Amino acid sequence: MNEDLDTPVLDNHLHLDPRHGRGIEAVEEFVRLGGTHLLVVNKPSWHLGVEPDAPEDFRPVFEETCAAVADANAVLPGRAWPVLGVHPGLISRLVDDRGFTPAAARELMCGGIDVAAEFVADGRALALKSGRPHYEVTDAVWDASNAVTRHAFERAATADCAVQLHTEASEDLTDLADAAASVGLDPGRVVKHYAAGRLAGPVPSVMSEKDRLERAAEAGRPFLMETDFVDDPEKPGAVLGPKTVPRRVRWLLSEGHADAVRNAHVETPAAVYGIDTEATLE
């Protein structure tokens, strides 16, 4: 039985892997707890067995994500959308394991962003994903990663879409917001995935732990909620499960944070992505 909540409930960042993981079962669990909408981010290419040599090699990764979203749409009371791009950790696999120069890795990853942008342009995807490593790297790899991110901002500005970022843990990413603005992308459409409760610069997509959510609710600024569910049977305890966002929405409401719930699940999705989570509910 669906534990109905009188609000849309959006998980802003999770992965679905019908081939290796729980796939549609995870979506059904999300729905049973009151979940309504999902932003499904493609898994890192190497998790799906793709070690790219050319930009076109990313296309099957994106196609697989779009297929998972189509299946999710069959069971969600709202709907799901794909978010497509190139995981920033790929640069280390290319440089450290496969002998690419940072410049060659940058070129390949920018090409992958271009392919993802095609999916946005034809309406098959909602937003792009990019970013930079969250671990120590050489200056050359850091510079190349920032160049890839800037390229994603350029493509998003052209496609009129948002960008989700994987980055280092930080409460100040104004450098990335400024980089977006410099190429014509509204920083209000740049989202920091796996965020804490406070963030200067991009819009935080807050990991749905109570302490982080409390900080975000009290800040009163735009934010989103996510689990980063990885759908990997070999990592059952990694990050948060698909039940978490609906449960945390219920908790926020019980704590008197109805305004924060509306902020995260109606107002911010509309401002960042241009989606109407109320009108898309059955």
Number of compact structural domains in the chain: 1
Q: Is residue 4 part of a domain?
A: no
Q: How far apart are CA 75 and CA 90, in angstroms?
A: 32
Closest CA relative to residue 164, chosen from 115, 213, 204:
204
Q: Is residue 120 part of a domain?
A: yes
Exposed / middle / buried, residue 6 (Cβ in 10 Å: 0-12, 13-18, 19+)? exposed
Q: Is residue 3 part of a domain?
A: no
Q: Is residue 282 part of a domain?
A: no
What strands, in cross-sheet order, belong to the sheet with 224-226? 10-14, 37-41, 80-85, 127-131, 163-166, 190-195, 203-207, 224-226
Domain that holds residue 247: 10-273
Angle at 101 between CA 98 and CA 102, to 5 degrees: 110
For every one of its 282 residues, what pLDDT tens digit does the chain have, with 9 covering 90 and above? Answer: 345 689 999 999 999 999 999 999 999 999 999 999 999 999 999 999 999 999 999 999 999 999 999 999 999 999 999 999 999 999 999 999 999 999 999 999 999 999 999 999 999 999 999 999 999 999 999 999 999 999 999 999 999 999 999 999 999 999 999 999 999 999 999 999 999 999 999 999 999 999 999 999 999 999 999 999 999 988 877 789 999 999 999 999 999 999 999 999 999 999 999 999 999 997
Q: Is residue 279 part of a domain?
A: no
Q: Is residue 278 part of a domain?
A: no
Is-contact 202 191, C-beta < 8 A? yes
Report in angstroms the alpha-carbon separations of 51 from 36, 46, 61, 98. Answer: 34, 6, 11, 10
Query: What CATH number does the domain containing 253 carry?
Result: 3.20.20.140
In terms of pTM, does the model score above 0.85? yes
Q: Is residue 281 part of a domain?
A: no
Q: Is residue 32 part of a domain?
A: yes
The encoded tokens of residue 224 equal 């989103």
